[in-house]
Structures are given as structure tokens and as C-alpha cells.
Amino acid sequence: MTCPIIAIVNRKSLATVAMGIAKGADIFRVHDIKEIARVCKMSDAIIRGRP
């Protein structure tokens, strides 16, 4: 069993979030939730093949 990876990201770091997902991060602490949620969903679908 592996532990989830947590990433803490500064404001408007969309590329950092996408790279974090690509590297296996599961949980993000962010300020701009609405914008980052879109990036997370899109990156997760592309990188991990999830709808």
C-alpha cells in the first residue's frame, strides 16, 4: 500500500499542478480552487486515462 503524495502549490501554478499529477501527486493544496480543479480534471484524464 502506498501513501498519497501531497503537493502544495503557489497561486496560479497551473503547469506545476499538471506536472505534479504526471509525477503521481494525488492531493494538492491551492488557493485558486476553481481554476486548478479544471487543470486537475483535464490533466488526470490525459495522463492517467481517467474520465
Domain range list for the chain = 6-48
Q: What is the pTM of this model?
A: 0.75
Q: Tell me the pLDDT tens digit for each residue of 23-43.
A: 989 899 988 888 889 988 999
More confident: 48 or 46:
46
Q: Give 11's pLDDT tier (boundaries 50, 70, 90).
A: confident
Give residue 41's pLDDT: 92
Helix ranges, the chain (H): 14-22, 33-48
At 27, is the secondary structure helix, strand, or coil? strand
For residue 8, the one-letter residue type is I
